[in-house]
Amino acid sequence: MSTPMFLARPLPGVVGERRRMCHVFPAPASERPPSTLTALCGAWFARGQLELLDGPRGMPCELCLRTVPQPTQLGGTDDRPDDLDAHVARIERQLDELSRAVDSLADLLIVLRDSLGRRRPETCSSAATQDPS
């Protein structure tokens, strides 16, 4: 029988925000909860320092992910889609579209900023006359 696994990450404040990664922990074998829990990557935490997660959240710990033997041990299934490449290609196309949308939005903002920049001397002229210096 395989060891059940669970996901947890350090609570806010335990580590810096950039190190609050989602780690994979083997479920403790003993009935009594241990005082410290060690992730697959070797990072260990006191029991009260961890937030138990029902699924991956935020940045995953790559070392833990590389060490996980089977997806089934995380409570999931290992029936990955056969058309994984097609799925990835679709996501890449969506990212391209999103990237183009962000680019055109950036262009629009530049045009808007420039048009506001041209109007600014008129709108600020009254403020400039009130400057005592």
Q: Confirm or reject binding of residue 39 to Zn ion (CB under 5 A).
A: yes
Could you tell me which stretch among 11-19, 32-40, 73-81, 102-110 binds Zn ion (CB under 5 A)? 32-40
Size of the site for Zn ion (CB under 5 A): 5
Q: Per rule CB under 5 A, is residue 37 in the interface with Zn ion?
A: no
Q: Is 22 in the site for Zn ion (CB under 5 A)?
A: no
C-alpha to C-alpha distance for 47 and 88, rounded to whole angstroms: 37
- Closer residue to Zn ion (CB): 37 or 64: 64
Residues 47-66 that bind Zn ion (CB under 5 A): 61, 64
Contact flag: residue 8 with Zn ion (CB under 5 A): no
User: Binding residue for Zn ion (CB under 5 A) from 6, 9, 10, 23?
Assistant: 23
The token pair at 128 is 């400039």
Q: Which is nearer to Zn ion, 56 or 111 (CB)?
A: 56
**Which stretches of the chain bind Zn ion, using CB under 5 A?**
23, 39, 41, 61, 64
